[in-house]
Structure 1
Amino acid sequence: MVFMMSLAGSIIFTTYSIYYVTKLGLSPFQLVLAGTVLEITVLVSEGITGVVADTYSRKLSVIIGMFVLGSAFVLEGCIVWMMHPASMLPAFAWLIMSQMLYGIGWTFVSGADTAWIVDELDEEQTGGLFMRSKIFALTASLLGIVVSVGLSLLAPNMPFLAGGAVYFILGLVLIRYMKETGFIRREREPHTSPIRELGKTWVSGVSVLRHHPLLLLLTVVTLFNGAASEGYDRLWQIHLIDEIGFPEASVSMAVWFGLISAAATILGMLAVRFAGKRMDLLLERKVSATLFILTCIRMGCILLLALAPNFTAAIFAVLLLGVAGSVSDPIYTTWLNSKLPSRNRATVLSMISQSDALGQSAGGPVVGYIGSRFSIRASLLAAGFLLLPVMALFGKVMRKR
């Protein structure tokens, strides 16, 4: 599942900015606004879908998400064919609709997939599994990069259509092969409506967060992480295209982005393998110290990219940032899941994901406005400084533990 999801994501997002900028003609503000709509959709939907996963079935939630994601990306790939005077809606309106579908589909999968696998296995096994699954994800990303570049050279919208098809195929595979043996569906009280049952699950999830200071702190960490990542994720490629520029060579932008993504993926695989062999994910102090250092690296890389005087410095920052993100993701996921009770796991994970969406939907427009009002470099600087609270919070946990 991780392999195919990463394959689809890599096919779609390696060269997505070429489609957005050269074919759909989006401005930096529109790029960030599209991301903001996505995150607001996640913010609204996440609480509902997480509760569905904890109340009824995590398998069902994941499978629904796959088909909705496939529909979202196929629609996005078709936008370029809808751009003609007779069209009822402009291209940006179709993009907003596809982003809303993307957000709904993502929330059905988010939290439910992690809660499902943690219930299927002992918690002691999940740390190593998340590290290994990251290797599978990065391997799939390498394959997806090649496919994305090849399809983008044929037509910039083809990666979206192919990625959407992969999600549809994965949905069919999961219907056939995905088992759910660890999840115990809640006993429904007589004369209790489904809405009331969902509400009880949500309230119990809130109670878990309220009575666990570390989970509350991690929720705040996720909030600022989301605010910082939205600006960077949406603008680093257009920053390279418009403000840094590529070396003069007979190599297309699609190939350049493919080479950058491939290099970041290979370095990330090596870093994750190294960290997996040397880190004990059960030692909380060591984990918090590692996340503090990785956050410092991420902030430094975003600031370096913003101030980069040339292409070499910019690429160094992008690659090192990718490595830091590849290592921090499975460490943070393992640490977070070790603190959650099985009964409410998907609901609480969805609430924390809502915090990420809130950070992205609140921070994204601010960062995008700075880019439109001043420059993309200024936007990236703002995104980098948004990681300062994350560093402070991880430092606080490190001292306390």
Structure 2
Amino acid sequence: MRRTADPAWLFLATTAVLAAGTNAKWIVFMPRLVDDLQLEPYQLALLGTALELSGIIGEIPTGAVADLISRRLSIIASFVIMGPILALAGVFESFWLIALTQVGWGLAWTLHSGADVAWLTDELRSPDRVDRLLISRAKVQLAANALGVPIALALVATTTRTTAIVVAGASISAWGLVLAMTMPETGFERTARAAGAEFKRIVGVGTRLTARTRPLRLLAISSLFYGLGSGVVDHLDLARLVEVGIPSDVDEVFLYGALALVQAAAGIVLIRLIERRLIDVPAARVLSLLMLLAGVAIAVTAGANVGWAIFVGLVMQEALRMTAEPFITMIANSHSESDVRATMLSFMSQAYAGGEILSGVFLGVVASVAGIGTAFAIGAVIVVGSSLISSRI
């Protein structure tokens, strides 16, 4: 008989494993792309675009499948599939094969995205407790990001960059097996209607709800612009540091690891500050403030000519972005209906991913033609625009 774990604990533990594993991978993966494989800025942007495009294609179908069949099975499948794909990203050297792993990773991620919060909401049946857990998840995610740094650095120091990425992938798949043995699903009610008709109904209801509900509509638009403006940082943060100049005796893996570690610490401090000072402020107002400050941070990164100032800008932008995530989820979750909850949350992820796709195409070209700093400056203006939109939610 399968022994089930407490849903709240399992939700946070799953967040920790995924954050530590993926951050350990990215800390090694990005320097590998820039340093070992020497990819151009437009190639880095294209890889990000491939990842986000696969996500935007998969978000709605996988969200609807989770609402139709099982949120639990969707999450388990995501972890089991993501691991091998992540490992292959560390093995391949061909740009196009690496791009394929990004597509696979994006599709596998959508099986988890949205389904986790929908599963938790149905299991707990307490919106206030779910909101508190979303804030806790952000802190756990940041702490796990920090934990991923020494793990990645230790693996690189004792093995190779490829081995470090493979180990990160194996850890994620292993957690999928743990979920298969311990994850309950008591709050989800599977429909008795025909699967095809119910799939169309779920997607249709989610689409109409987003279009007709003002907070959801504005949230989707602001998420789109936020992804468009901040996507350039996700794709070209290390390249921006390299552009200004990194001392020859500094290992880029250790530099990227230090950046991730400080970003996590800054994010935890920021969330604690919000809990103490802004806990009673509406989520939309907090989100608008975080987006505005993120725009300022990107502007600092764009205009700085010294490495330490760019480092500070990158730290603040990522800390603000990760702090904004639970507030986006809170707003979407509070306006969603139970039977289409995973689909609705997927809509918001899709909006952000759509912005990142446009960023990879548009700002990636700008970075190659006019310089990475110029692309960052345009991104900063767009993120400030997303703040103005979210202030009207």
| TM-score (normalizing by structure 2) | 0.92
Q: Give how far 1:150 is off.
A: 2.4
Identity rate, percent? 27
CA contact (8 A) 1:223 1:359 kept: yes
Structure 1 residues not aligned, in runs of 5+: 81-90
Residue 159 of structure 1 corresponds to: 164
- Secondary structure (helix, strand or coil) at the match of 1:187 reads coil
- Secondary structure (helix, strand or coil) at the match of 2:335 reads coil
Residue 310 of structure 1 corresponds to: 306
CA distance in 2, matches of 1:379, 1:152: 32
Structure 2 residues not aligned, in runs of 5+: 1-13
Q: Which of 13, 21, 42 is 2:34 aligned to?
A: 21
Structure 1 position 114 matched with structure 2 position 117: yes
Residue 141 of structure 1 corresponds to: 145
Structure 1 position 381 matched with structure 2 position 380: no
CA contact (8 A) 2:80 2:176 kept: yes
- Secondary structure (helix, strand or coil) at the match of 1:183 reads coil
Letter matched to residue 375 of structure 2 = S
Q: Give how far 1:73 is off.
A: 0.5
Alignment of 1:243-282 (within 5 A): 243-247=243-247, 250-280=249-279
Letter matched to residue 50 of structure 2 = V
- Give CA-to-partner distance per residue, 1:201-243, whole Å, 9 cap, x none: 21121222232111011010111111122211010111102x2
Structure 1 position 44 matched with structure 2 position 52: no
Letter matched to residue 251 of structure 2 = S
Q: Give how far 1:363 is off.
A: 2.4
CA contact (8 A) 2:332 2:348 kept: no
CA distance in 2, matches of 1:315, 1:354: 29
Alignment of 1:1-400 (within 5 A): 1-80=14-93, 91-121=94-124, 122-153=126-157, 154-188=159-193, 192=194, 194-241=195-242, 243-247=243-247, 250-280=249-279, 283-284=281-282, 287-397=283-393
- Secondary structure (helix, strand or coil) at the match of 2:132 reads helix
Q: Give how far 1:362 is off.
A: 1.9
- Secondary structure (helix, strand or coil) at the match of 1:167 reads helix
CA contact (8 A) 1:18 1:156 kept: no
CA contact (8 A) 1:17 1:238 kept: no
- Secondary structure (helix, strand or coil) at the match of 1:157 reads helix
- Give CA-to-partner distance per residue, 1:314-346, whole Å, 9 cap, x none: 122122223322322222222321121111101
After superposing the two structures, state which structure 1 stretch, 46-55 or 320-329, moved more.
320-329
CA contact (8 A) 2:156 2:164 kept: yes
Q: Give how far 1:247 is off.
A: 4.7
Letter matched to residue 130 of structure 2 = T
CA distance in 1, matches of 2:391, 2:139: 28
Shift in CA distance, 364/237, structure 1 to aligned 2, threshold 3 Å = same
- Secondary structure (helix, strand or coil) at the match of 2:92 reads helix
Letter matched to residue 137 of structure 1 = Q
- Secondary structure (helix, strand or coil) at the match of 2:109 reads helix
Letter matched to residue 172 of structure 1 = L
CA contact (8 A) 2:219 2:328 kept: no
- Give CA-to-partner distance per residue, 1:53-95, whole Å, 9 cap, x none: 0011000111111122112111111114xxxxxxxxxx01111
CA contact (8 A) 2:366 2:375 kept: yes
CA contact (8 A) 1:272 1:326 kept: no
Letter matched to residue 21 of structure 2 = A
| TM-score (normalizing by structure 1) | 0.90
CA distance in 1, matches of 2:79, 2:132: 25
- Give CA-to-partner distance per residue, 1:157-183, whole Å, 9 cap, x none: 233212211111110010011111111
- Give CA-to-partner distance per residue, 1:39-63, whole Å, 9 cap, x none: 1111211111010000110001111
CA contact (8 A) 1:15 1:148 kept: yes
Q: Give how far 1:148 is off.
A: 1.4
CA distance in 2, matches of 1:18, 1:92: 14
CA contact (8 A) 1:128 1:276 kept: no
Q: Give how far 1:24 is off.
A: 2.2
CA distance in 1, matches of 2:185, 2:273: 32
Q: CA RMSD in A?
A: 1.6
CA contact (8 A) 2:226 2:291 kept: no
- Secondary structure (helix, strand or coil) at the match of 2:392 reads helix
CA contact (8 A) 2:29 2:90 kept: no
Letter matched to residue 48 of structure 1 = P
Q: Give how far 1:116 is off.
A: 0.7
